[in-house]
Amino acid sequence: MASSARVDLDGNPIKPLTICMIGAGGFIGSHLCEKIMSETPHKVLALDVYNDKIKHLLEPDSLPWSDRIQFHRINIKHDSRLEGLIKMADLTINLAAICTPADYNTRPLDTIYSNFIDALPVVKYCSENNKRLIHFSTCEVYGKTIGAFLPKDSPLRQDPEYYVLKEDVSPCIFGPIEKQRWSYACAKQLIERLIYAEGAENGLEFTIVRPFNWIGPRMDFIPGIDGPSEGVPRVLACFSNNLLRREPLKLVDGGESQRTFIYIKDAIEAVFLMIENPARANGQIFNVGNPNNEVTVRQLAEMMTEVYSKVSGEPPLEVPTVDVTSKEFYGVGYDDSDKRIPDMTIINRQLGWNPKTSLWDLLESTLTYQHRTYAEAIKKAIAKPAGTS
Ligand SMILES: NC(=O)c1ccc[n+]([C@@H]2O[C@H](COP(=O)([O-])OP(=O)(O)OC[C@H]3O[C@@H](n4cnc5c(N)ncnc54)[C@H](O)[C@@H]3O)[C@@H](O)[C@H]2O)c1
Ligand SMILES: O=C(O)[C@H]1O[C@H](OP(=O)(O)OP(=O)(O)OC[C@H]2O[C@@H](n3ccc(=O)[nH]c3=O)[C@H](O)[C@@H]2O)[C@H](O)[C@@H](O)[C@@H]1O
């Protein structure tokens, strides 16, 4: 239940806020709205082109928070209401973006427009109207690690100095322009630089968030069920789709890339601390990830296969994975980050935050959700003769 006696990390009372959340209808936005509604007295102006993932928070009108959340169906590319909504709020959180790797090399113009050009008015309106901004960037701004360029057998590859990603130290290392994969990271980097410059030159109060593979329920879509059949979502949804359909999981280029995965609910706690502790969060760039949950993509596939078998009661596939090339899977221009370990020094120092959930536990709760939400629909879709609708 919302409590009015909330205090920040320094013991000061937190006054109820009005938050303009752009991209509120997406994966992260839906979890943020859910927690804000159930645990705080804050109001949310929720902007998005879709609202399916927050429908349960908007209807029916009898919900206890119905006077604290308002949905505005707005495409920020062209809508004159944007500035007015930012002006009405104390804080703007911008989540809107194209952020699925399958789009970066196949729709590079849309990717660059979405992640840079479309974010410009948001930054400008916040700056001109003295409004605080929390902007969602990405861990992809780091690109590849320095260690990726060392010989495969170099002992330096084991030295954290060559792979741990630090907000105030690590360089941003992208591939050549023809590797259009980096269109997203490059656009995100430029908007980070612009926000930073607005802070330095015009006093914009900002916080930049760099998420490291946040995963959980409602992430992306299951192709052919609640998204296009030919669509390629991020890896959690790709592998969930394979498991639900009892198809082998596709490992791109051998599944050797490494990632650290964090449970969405742990990550949302960090964003909450940023929202409610402006004095500690303003002017900062924060890695938000779980350095303890590192796996190769192959290990992720193996673990998801085991966990899914446990939560669904179905035996694991005899051939659980199949290798595909990145050209077959994503098309030309794909490239990959080799390894992503977030340094936690800054977020620890400023907000005292640490992630809690192990990879096994987060996969267990997420795959339980995937099974409960999609298994029946997939069975029906598979049973339907081809060509019928
Ligand atoms: N999920 C992660 O682990 C992760 C990792 C790194 C970065 N991020 C960043 O966090 C943000 C949110 O990610 P997510 O995983 O929730 O993605 P998402 O795709 O689920 O959510 C983005 C939302 O923005 C909306 N949107 C996009 N363009 C819009 C426009 N022009 N006008 C209005 N709404 C628009 C979409 O409809 C969608 O609902 C993005 O900026 C993304 O780059 C996420
Ligand atoms: O989540 C993040 O922190 C960031 O990383 C993601 O990028 P990436 O981790 O490369 O995207 P995923 O689709 O989650 O893929 C992870 C890895 O799995 C591989 N993969 C993906 C799908 C699949 O079916 N098989 C497979 O082997 C990819 O090649 C990649 O190596 C996206 O760019 C963003 O959402 C975000 O900015």
Q: Which two tokens stand for residue 21?
A: 């959340």
Strand-pairing partners, residue 22, are: 47, 94
Q: Is the pLDDT of residue 3 over 60?
A: no
Question: Residue 84: what pLDDT?
Answer: 98
> In this structure, which ligand is nearest to the CA of 234?
2
Parallel, antiparallel or unpaired: strands 249-252 and 214-215? unpaired
| pLDDT confidence tier of residue 87, bands split at 50, 70 and 90 | very high
* Residues in contact with 198: Cβ distance below 8 Å, sequence separation at least 6, in sequence order: 123, 127, 204, 206
Q: Which two tokens stand for residue 274?
A: 């940023």
**Average pLDDT of 338-342?**
98
Nearest-atom number in ligand 1 for the CA of 219 is 20
ipTM over 0.95: yes
For residue 115, which of 20, 37, 13, 186 has the smallest C-alpha distance? 186
Which H helix or E strand runs over 188?
Answer: helix 182-202
| d(CA 102, ligand 2 centre) in Å | 9
| pLDDT confidence tier of residue 384, bands split at 50, 70 and 90 | confident
**Average pLDDT of 367-373?**
98
Q: What is the mean pLDDT of the chain?
A: 97
Q: 50: helix, coil or strand?
A: coil
Residue among 184, 235, 334 to mutate when testing ligand 2 (max atoms within 8 A of CB): 235
Q: Is the pLDDT of residue 325 over 80?
A: yes
| d(CA 161, ligand 1 centre) in Å | 31
| d(CA 324, ligand 2 centre) in Å | 15
Question: Residue 387: what pLDDT?
Answer: 58
Question: Residue 286: what pLDDT?
Answer: 99
What pTM was estimated for this model as a whole?
0.97
The pLDDT tens digits of the residues spanning 10-58 come to 999 999 999 999 999 999 999 999 999 999 999 999 999 999 999 999 9
> In this structure, which ligand is nearest to the CA of 104?
2
Q: Which two tokens stand for residue 275?
A: 């929202």
The pLDDT tens digits of the residues spanning 187-198 come to 999 999 999 999
Which H helix or E strand runs over 205?
Answer: none
Question: Residue 388: what pLDDT?
Answer: 58
Ligand 1 environment, Cβ below 6 A:
23, 25-29, 48-50, 74-77, 95-97, 99, 114, 118, 136, 138, 211, 213-214
Q: Is the pLDDT of residue 233 over 70?
A: yes
For atom 21 of ligand 2, which residue has the closest CA?
235
For atom 19 of ligand 1, which residue has the closest CA?
26
Q: Is the pLDDT of residue 168 over 80?
A: yes
| pLDDT confidence tier of residue 385, bands split at 50, 70 and 90 | low
184 is an active site residue: yes
> What is 213-273 written as a DSSP string?
-EE-TT-S--BTTTB-TT----HHHHHHHHHHTT-PEEEEGGG--EEE-EEHHHHHHHHHH
